Amino acid sequence: MSKSIRVDGLSKTFESGADELVVFENVSFDVDPGEFVVVLGPSGCGKTTLLKTIARTVDQTAGTIELDGTGVSGDGSRPHPDVSMVFQDFVLLPWKSVLENVSTGLKVQGDVEKGKRDEIAREWLDRVGLEGFGDCYPKELSGGMQQRVGLARALAVDPDILLMDEPFGSLDAQTKDRLQTELLKLWHDDRKTVVFVTHDIDEAIYMADTILVLSEKPATIIDRIDVDFERPRWNRRLDVESSDRFQEIKARLRSDLGLEEI
């Protein structure tokens, strides 16, 4: 299943002593169930904080978040159960095997017995192209493979919402290219609701149904673009990326972000 997200009037201020840092202010947007939304914005504008607020590991200062119409709150210690997160840094547990890393989330959920957990974890390793690597340890895998493990771990718990924080940001260009398409294929099959943060404009356009652009902090939403290329896109990626529409969206995003004309 996938769920909608409604963010309404969301603000976040960090306080340390007498200092206040207003990160974002009055941010509102809706994400439909199964929609792929990409958030772009300058470094430090609060994209990660926004994801953590949706995941409920950070409390907002003002505003509300609803998942499928239900307001959510959290204790800050772990993400809301409907939500899985994938980060730029692989954050795998180095002392656990790849299989155990993937089944860990299921263990936290608590209601799946060990044999079934391992079966689900193995299925997900197959789906992300890591068949046969379950007994390896993270240090034996390349960066791209580690990120595949992170993806399998996030998806194995069958979340309603997938929050991704620059998941391919530290990968080389070819691995990144391949994983973008693999993620789109997985998403095409399961249609999770995705909120995906990136700095990469081309990646944003290739992946998104909708792109939200944040300003410098205190951040607000300064643009929202519907990316209307038909799906699937991976079988005609070059056509999509060389199209006039792609270049038009790219120019608009560069202008939004204060970059020079292309």
Which residues contribute to the site for ligand ATP (CB under 6 A)? 14, 21, 23, 41, 43-49
CA neighbor of 179 nearest in space, from 170, 20, 228: 170
- Minimum CB separation of residue 143 from ligand ATP in Å reads 18
CA neighbor of 219 nearest in space, from 64, 46, 55: 46
Q: For the chain, give the number of residues.
A: 262
Nearer to ligand ATP, 27 or 125 (CB): 27
Nearer to ligand ATP, 68 or 223 (CB): 223
- Minimum CB separation of residue 59 from ligand ATP in Å reads 11
- Minimum CB separation of residue 152 from ligand ATP in Å reads 24
- Minimum CB separation of residue 184 from ligand ATP in Å reads 23
Give the end-to-end CA distance of the chain in Å, rounded to a whole number: 40
Nearer to ligand ATP, 58 or 72 (CB): 58
Nearer to ligand ATP, 49 or 101 (CB): 49
Nearer to ligand ATP, 51 or 106 (CB): 51
- Minimum CB separation of residue 47 from ligand ATP in Å reads 4
